Structure 1
């Protein structure tokens, strides 16, 4: 992304501007971005992080086979490109190392308060009072919440799980003390995490059981390795690296991002063709039938894998499609009466994607409770602002383009938008700014209308859908997102 996207007007050191204290909640991808740019512009910035390392989801998730399904060179900050990725789809440890390095290089560690979970944010006397789990309270002029959506594990309760004599844990809480080689391993789930685990563990386990509730469409994507010569070229010639980034962006924006918002698009038809061809590599007709979804490709988040179908056909692998009835001391009993003996049971059951900053209590102007505002579904104007919560902003907030295109580019554009709103605070044009109720209603009405053309509403149950069956994601084009983020429509904001 062009660096001009991140530029704004006067910084806090310019003549005639006020000093602003900003609290950033979370030191993952979005928090590192916000902290880097705020610090660069001279804001007094404090980053609250409940864990003891940076990295967010790439810190928390350490399971075997972990990788990003967005090409790594695009999944980087525009101001901190990385010429040294080893492969197209970078593994988790490389990604965590990248974010740690950026945080260090941009001087963020002195600004981060590790081990301080924010439990309450309340609007008092024209400022935000931030309270941590340890009881510390501090006032800020602005809060930017960067808590993401993939960090509250969704852990289903299975009858008898407490009786299991083996080890059981969620994929995001991996227990590395548990041996896996030659053991009987079961994985519950069939999303991206479960597919990566299948590839990593089926050859290692003496028996590998994948418990599938719903079949997934799997789209192949080559994961090419980069040679030392290629990496040296990218280091020597940033333009060559940027050209590669633009190639990946164009393929995604013109392909997947266009496909999901238009169910009749040729791009979606092509994705479905590729998925069907990939499925045909499953040799056994019975297994292929059980792996065939009953809904359209991309209705759920596509699984990206070149190797999943090979792994599930491994001699040690077993696809279980009968529902889990209960957990017993020796393993999993399914509805067909079969006991699947296991040593290890992994819950690859995803996350509670409607949490955002919650469970922290957030109280806005006149005590308005964010939980009540979001009682039906989390909403935010352009994924950034909520009425009655002045000077309170989201990166990767509700209805953000999660899964449409690179989350980093999304957050960079959102932050550039927020920084323009902060300019009015800096120059004393106003002391408070938040979207109006009317503007949010208008945006939500338009977003919900556009949702009717998306693939997400074609007949599947997925984490994209809220309680009303409406996609909690960006339902417009990439071009619309870029246009909206270029400049705030100030008439849509209440200023005091």
Structure 2
């Protein structure tokens, strides 16, 4: 039975979905992308020092490993190039519709009717939302932000036309992005001022370059490359992924490594005190860097933790009354990680709006579907394990699960499929209970937490996630004839 698909988003998950549809012999699909090219977060983020915090050999599709990564943790431009190359290799070019931001998706007469910002439309039997998590920049609510007279931009919208050499540069934020930017630019600028609201725990992981001999070996030997993939995947699963959900022994190792890094590598007691968090390691997304502490201790760098009162034309005034004069202001203030498919207006069966269904909290069935929204699926939806594992592994497991549900319709067993309300409530109740044993609720403020203080993460093991994604329990679904 021929069915049409609409994939929303041409980042990692959207590309994956297109490849998997083609593997099943499905050619009638369009990948709608709001931007002018593919790549998602790796297209949008181009700031100095950008790299992935997942090892290169495991941050790749399991069926399309890459042996010639330049570093253990890949630079952003290389990752963007990887996805562009994969999309070309698998013949996805005819399926992309760029500059096609879907504003509205309505389920009517058994099909999804999509409307883009430019007024164009599409009709599909299935929608696969691959809109990602970290793509809506979070702009800080600081008085006078628009008044700054110098260059000002968000880290995810880096303005490469702005010269940094010899300039006084301020960076607001101390998350993973800022910790990568600071070492990358500190030797170029006259003065670097890092405005810190909350200090971060930093795990001292080196990012060595692969030698030409190593790259040649991985390119020549698919077996060695697969062994490296398996090794790094197991390292994550058996250490960090266990620690964050309650393995005290593994967490103790992480906490000790972070404390030792701070004590051994930040020499000034006053600066060390400023950089010492008052919460547990990994409560926020753990930062991995062996270059940040040396960079922030250079003579032309400083940390300001007095709190920002307002932005003025000449710079940033802190609550102690000091004006920090700047030429360039970088907002490394992260993203709205809880938007998911928003601002797209999704209207399901009987006129039910997803915005209303999620008015109190973003709740999905096993992260991939929502009751009342037939044949609508999400990759990396609410409570996906984005704080535990490689997001590519997550998406691969989710798309295989989703396509098993799709096959129920394609085979003629039903016309539409959606999870039941009861099964979704049960799953989310179990989530909230299990979350009590995780580090994410141990007493910090992080982008993991929604407005109710609930982490939008996965509180169980990787084995459980893999097992639950192996095959749908059809007792939890409503199949519409």
Range of TM-score over shorter length: over 0.9
1:259-278 residue pairs with structure 2 within 5 A? 259-262=243-246, 265-278=248-261
Please give the per-residue CA displacement for 1:134-175, whole angstroms capped at 9, x wherever unaligned: 111221000000000100000013212222110111000111
- Within 1, Cα distance between the matches of 2:39 and 2:439? 31
SS state at 2:194 partner: strand
SS state at 1:121 partner: strand
- Within 2, Cα distance between the matches of 1:467 and 1:317? 34
1:461-480 residue pairs with structure 2 within 5 A? 461-480=445-464
Structure 1 stretches (4+) deviating beyond 3 angstroms? none
Q: Which residue of 2 aligns with 1:322?
A: 306
1:150-299 residue pairs with structure 2 within 5 A? 150-262=134-246, 265-280=248-263, 281-299=265-283
The offset of 1:357, in angstroms, is 1.1
Asked if 1:79 is matched to 2:63, the reply is yes
Asked if 1:364 is matched to 2:348, the reply is yes
Aligned match for 1:54, one of 11, 35, 38 = 38
Greater shift after overlay, 26-35 or 219-228? 219-228
Contact 1:39 1:45 (C-alpha < 8 Å) held by counterparts: no
Q: Which residue of 1 aligns with 2:360?
A: 376
Asked if 1:485 is matched to 2:459, the reply is no
Q: Which residue of 2 aligns with 1:32?
A: 15
1:375-454 residue pairs with structure 2 within 5 A? 375-454=359-438
Please give the per-residue CA displacement for 1:245-298, whole angstroms capped at 9, x wherever unaligned: 111011110111001111x52111100000001101100001001100000000
Which residues of structure 1 form unaligned runs of 5+? 1-17
The offset of 1:227, in angstroms, is 1.3
SS state at 1:196 partner: helix
Asked if 1:111 is matched to 2:95, the reply is yes
The offset of 1:372, in angstroms, is 0.7
Matched length:
478
Please give the per-residue CA displacement for 1:68-97, whole angstroms capped at 9, x wherever unaligned: 000011000011110110110000100000
- Within 1, Cα distance between the matches of 2:460 and 2:336? 24
The offset of 1:41, in angstroms, is 1.8
Greater shift after overlay, 56-65 or 41-50? 41-50
1:340-359 residue pairs with structure 2 within 5 A? 340-359=324-343
Normalised TM-score (structure 2)? 0.98
The offset of 1:40, in angstroms, is 2.5
Asked if 1:99 is matched to 2:75, the reply is no
Which residues of structure 2 form unaligned runs of 5+? none
